[in-house]
Chain A
Amino acid sequence: MEPPVNPASTVWTAFGRALLRFLWPVILLAALLPAQSVDDPPQKIEPAPDTSAPKIKLPFDISGFLAVRTLQADDLDTHNSYREYSGSIFVSRALGRWVLHSEVNFTTAPEYDSEGIHLFPPRPSLSVKLDAATANYNLRDWLQFRGGWEFVPTYWRTHRYQSTTLTVDEPLVDQNVFPTSLAGVEVHGDKYFEAGGISYEAYAGSSQEEEFDHDQQNLYIERSRATGGKVVFHVPSRHTLDTLDIGFHVLALRGSDGGHDHLYGWELNMEKGRAALLAEFAHANEGSPTGAREYFRQGYYIQPSYRITRRLFAVARYDWLNRDSRFSDESESRESLGLTFRPTPDISLKADLDRYQPDRGLLPAYYGAKVAIVFFFHRP
Chain B
Amino acid sequence: MRLQRWFAAILCCLLAAAGNASEQKDAAFVVIVHPSNHYDVLSRSRLEFLFQRKISRWPWGAEAQPIDLDSASPAAREFTRVVLKTTEERLAEYWIDQRATRGVSPPVRLSSAAAVKAFVASHPGAVGYIPAADLDATVKVMRVDP
Contact = CB atoms under 8 A, between A and B. Distances in A.
Contacts of B77: 41-42
B47 to A, nearest CB: 11
A204 B105 CA distance: 27
Nearest to B45: A194
Contacts of A101: 102-103
B101 interface: yes
A45 B70 CA distance: 10
B109 interface: yes
B100 A342 contact: no
Given A42-B89, A48-B109, A61-B105, A88 B49 contact: no
Interface string B87-122: 111011100110111111110111100010001000
Given A51-B115, A163-B96, A163-B100, A141 B110 contact: no
A119 interface: no
B91 A48 contact: no
Interface stretch (B12-20, B29-37, B50-58): B50-58
Chain A CB within 10 Å, residue with most, of B45, B55, B108: B45
Given A49-B110, A92-B103, A194-B43, A44 B71 contact: yes
A161 B100 contact: yes
A99 B96 contact: no
Interface of B is mostly: mixed
Given A44-B71, A90-B100, A92-B104, A195 B92 contact: no
B36 to A, nearest CB: 20
A65 B115 CA distance: 32
A50 B114 CA distance: 12
A105 to B, nearest CB: 11
A310 to B, nearest CB: 5
Nearest to B105: A61
A164 B96 contact: yes
Interface string A118-152: 00000000000000000010101100000000000
Contacts of A141: 54-57
Given A51-B110, A159-B97, A45 B104 contact: no
A291 interface: no
B56 A345 contact: no
A92 B99 CA distance: 8
Interface of A is mostly: loop
Contact of B96 (A43, A49, A140, A346): A346
A167 to B, nearest CB: 15
Chain B CB within 10 Å, residue with most, of A45, A158, A159, A163: A45
B143 interface: no
Nearest to B86: A242
Interface residues of A, number: 45
B25 interface: no
A90 B103 contact: yes
Chain A CB within 10 Å, residue with most, of B45, B88, B100: B100
Contact of A63 (B72, B100, B109): B100
Nearest to B55: A141
Contacts of B70: 48
Contacts of A92: 99, 103-105
Contacts of B92: 45-46, 345-346
B71 A45 contact: yes
A49 B105 contact: no
A202 interface: no
Nearest to B44: A194
Interface in A238-272: 242
B111 A48 contact: yes
Contacts of B85: 242
Interface string A290-304: 000000000000000
Contact of B91 (A43, A45, A380): A45
Contacts of A138: 56-57
Interface of A: 41-46, 48-52, 61, 63, 65, 88, 90, 92, 94, 96, 99-101, 103, 136, 138, 140-141, 158-159, 161, 163-164, 190, 192, 194-195, 242, 310-311, 342, 345-346, 376, 378, 380
5 contacts: A138-B56, A190-B54, A194-B43, A311-B89, A346-B96
Interface of B: 43, 45-46, 49, 54-57, 63, 69-72, 77, 85, 87-89, 91-93, 96-97, 99-106, 108-111, 115, 119
Given A192-B54, A310-B87, A376-B96, 14 more contacts: A42-B87, A45-B89, A46-B92, A46-B106, A46-B109, A51-B119, A63-B100, A88-B100, A92-B104, A159-B101, A164-B96, A164-B100, A342-B93, A345-B96
